[in-house]
């Protein structure tokens, strides 16, 4: 089974000096079909004018930009996103068109969904080498400043709704828009933590807003479900609905609440995160929302798949292991349907060894994807590709908007987390660039001096001294 690469610690430093580091892994059948699906999905966006200026995607242009930035050079899941620097000339031109369109609308009032997506897209564009747009009335930083300030000012900061956002500048208690505001601000935190755009005051304000949002989901968690047969399943589970009150927990918003708490400073073992994970574990669905989506179970599938996957992915990437008795992302989807607590619509993982190839890619039978592990990513990706039409469109079932649905599907397939800054060890360095994710080291010192076949000198291996088992010897594995 091919899983994502993990940092393996060698017991003997000398071994690192005598062995080649790393090896290319063959792309699996499933990964190749995922790559083909992504290409087809991006082609659909192009054919519909989503990469133009003006973009046909409208308020979803930020998500479209993010999906283009997250494209991988190959089907290998270990490949980094192409970003701007890694893109070909065609994709760079598309990105520039989208950014020009976004810059022209950066101050078009406060619309939480739109502005959150704009911040995610602009931040990742800038941090991956994106250029300023000739003739634009604002720079990338000026646009980010406006979007960030408007979003910060729109958060409810007192009373029962403290920590939430609404659809616009008037605040509210809307969980769906709140997770977009939080995602956008967490991406802005990455932007302002970068030396080229550094703004410590903005980072402080963002951290305060994220902490308020986290506390809102702690304070307002509840039990239950719209499905009476899967109501309060016990074992400490709690979730969240569409709004703070008046709505029972749903798959989409419980996943959103998990994500928000992680971005607000919680980790996997936080008691509230565990209660949300317990709800998702005991109500797991991979096919659709069934009866656990408040009033819109047929419309929010695409939103749910990305809102939940990116939360699980953040936990996985953090490297934080669950404490004894706690759940981890790898537990989601493993509770047998017939086991207590009873939930008549709960599902388990798909079995890659029993699944045939997705029909649009070939007629091979069961076992074609047998190299894959049972996991949430496989469940979601298989279902998403099943629903993709021949022209590349994913939304063949209900959804709120064709362009956001298309982007959500692509972002799941790409394993994207929205360019957010998570700082697991609270050392002021975002996890995606931190050379010791779980050990505070704000100086990022990496002073290896020895490397096989090379004279002694400076050979940093990408692992910080405080967490490197061989701090003097180049051993990136």
pLDDT class of 397 with cuts at 50, 70, 90: low
78 with 94: CB under 8 angstroms? no
Domain-located, residue 473: no
Closest CA to 220 of 296, 267, 275: 275
Answer whether residue 190 is part of any domain.
Answer: yes
Show Cβ contacts of residue 162 under 8 Å, excluding neighbours closer than 6 positions: 156, 212, 215, 216
Supply the pLDDT for residue 2. 38
Say if residues 148 and 82 touch (Cβ distance below 8 Å): no
Q: What is the mean pLDDT of residues 396-413?
A: 88
Domain count for the chain: 1
Residue 103 lies in a domain: yes
What per-residue confidence (pLDDT) applies to 245?
A: 94
In a domain, 457, yes or no: no
| Residue 290 domain flag | yes
Q: pLDDT at position 331, please?
A: 98
| 449 within some domain | no
The domain in which residue 222 lies consists of 13-444
241 or 5, higher pLDDT: 241
Name the band, by pLDDT with cuts 50, 70 and 90, for residue 396.
low
464 within some domain: no
- Bridge partners of 165, per DSSP, are 174
CATH number, residue 278: 1.50.10.20
pLDDT at 58 over 70: yes
93 Cβ contact list (under 8 Å, min separation 6): none
Q: What is the pLDDT of residues 297-307, one digit of tens each?
A: 677 889 999 99
Token reading at 444: 């990022």
| Mean residue pLDDT across the chain | 91
Say which range, 130-134, 240-244, 251-255, 442-446, has the weakest mean pLDDT. 442-446
Split at pLDDT 50, 70, 90, the class of 451 is confident
d(CA 370, CA 298): 31
Burial of 207 (0-12, 13-18, 19+ CB in 10 A): middle
Check: CB of residue 285 under 8 Å from CB of residue 343.
no
Q: What is the pLDDT of residues 105-141, one digit of tens each?
A: 999 988 999 999 999 999 999 999 999 999 999 999 9
Distance CA 151, CA 165 (A): 9
| Dihedral pair phi/psi, residue 35, rounded to 5° | -60, -40
- For residue 455, tell me if it sits in a domain: no
CA-closest candidate to residue 125, choices 149, 152, 100: 100
At 10, is the pLDDT very low, low, confident or very high (cuts 50, 70, 90)?
very low
Q: Which helix (H) or strand (E) holds 16?
A: helix 13-18
Give the model confidence (pLDDT) of 83-106 as tens digits: 999 999 999 999 999 999 999 999
Calculate mean pLDDT across residues 190-218.
98
pLDDT of residue 431: 78
Q: Which of 38-52, 283-297, 444-458 has the highest mean pLDDT?
A: 38-52
**pLDDT tens across 327-382, in order?**
999 999 999 999 999 999 999 999 999 999 999 999 999 999 999 999 999 999 99
pLDDT band at 282 (very low <50, low <70, confident <90, very high): very high
Alpha helices in 70-111 (DSSP H): 89-103
Share of residues in the chain with pLDDT > 90 (%): 75
CA distance 361 to 384: 13
Residue 165 phi/psi, 5-degree rounding, is -120, 165
pLDDT above 70 (res 16): no
On whether the CB atoms of residues 448 and 214 are closer than 8 A, the answer is no
Q: Quick check: 132 and 99 in contact, CB under 8 A?
A: no
- The answer, yes or no, to whether residue 173 has pLDDT greater than 50, is yes
């Amino acid at each position: 089974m091919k899983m994502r690469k993990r940092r393996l610690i060698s017991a003997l430093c000398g071994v690192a000096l005598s062995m080649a580091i790393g090896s290319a892994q063959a792309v699996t059948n499933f990964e190749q079909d995922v790559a083909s699906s992504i290409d087809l999905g991006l082609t659909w966006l192009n054919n519909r004018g989503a990469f133009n200026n003006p973009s046909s995607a409208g308020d979803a242009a930020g998500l479209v930009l993010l999906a283009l930035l997250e494209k991988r050079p190959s089907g290998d899941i270990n490949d980094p996103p192409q970003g701007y620097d890694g893109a070909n000339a065609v994709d760079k031109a598309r990105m520039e068109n989208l950014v020009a369109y976004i810059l022209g609308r950066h101050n078009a009032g406060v619309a939480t969904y739109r502005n959150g997506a704009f911040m995610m897209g602009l931040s990742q564009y800038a941090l991956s080498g994106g250029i300023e747009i000739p003739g634009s009335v604002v720079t990338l930083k000026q646009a980010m400043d406006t979007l960030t300030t408007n979003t910060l000012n729109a958060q409810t900061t007192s009373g029962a709704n403290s920590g939430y956002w609404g659809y616009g500048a008037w605040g509210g208690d809307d969980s769906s828009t709140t997770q977009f505001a939080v995602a956008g601000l967490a991406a802005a935190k990455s932007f302002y933590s970068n030396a080229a755009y550094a703004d410590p005051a903005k980072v402080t304000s963002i951290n305060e807003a994220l902490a308020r949002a986290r506390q809102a989901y702690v304070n307002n968690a509840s039990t239950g479900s719209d499905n009476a047969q899967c109501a309060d399943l016990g074992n400490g589970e709690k979730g969240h609905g569409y709004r703070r009150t008046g709505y029972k927990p749903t798959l989409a918003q419980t996943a959103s609440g998990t994500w928000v708490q992680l971005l607000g400073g919680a980790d996997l073992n936080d008691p509230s995160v565990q209660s949300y994970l317990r709800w998702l574990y005991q109500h797991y669905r991979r096919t659709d929302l069934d009866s656990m989506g408040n009033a819109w179970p047929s419309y929010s599938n695409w939103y749910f798949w990305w809102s939940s996957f990116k939360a699980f992915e953040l936990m996985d990437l953090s490297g934080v292991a669950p404490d004894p008795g706690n759940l981890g992302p790898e537990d989601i989807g493993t509770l047998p349907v017939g086991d207590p607590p009873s939930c008549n619509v709960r599902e388990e993982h798909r079995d890659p060894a029993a699944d045939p190839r997705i029909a649009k890619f070939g007629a091979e039978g069961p076992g074609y994807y047998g190299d894959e592990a049972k996991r949430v990513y496989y469940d979601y990706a298989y279902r998403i590709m099943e629903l993709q039409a021949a022209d590349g469109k994913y939304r063949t079932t209900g959804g709120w908007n064709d362009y956001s649905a298309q982007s959500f599907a692509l972002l799941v397939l790409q394993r994207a987390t929205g360019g957010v800054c998570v700082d697991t060890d609270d050392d002021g360095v975002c996890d995606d660039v931190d050379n010791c994710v779980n050990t505070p080291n704000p100086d990022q010192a990496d002073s290896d001096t020895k490397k096989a076949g090379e004279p002694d000198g400076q050979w940093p291996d990408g692992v910080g001294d405080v967490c490197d088992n061989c701090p003097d010897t180049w051993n990136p594995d």
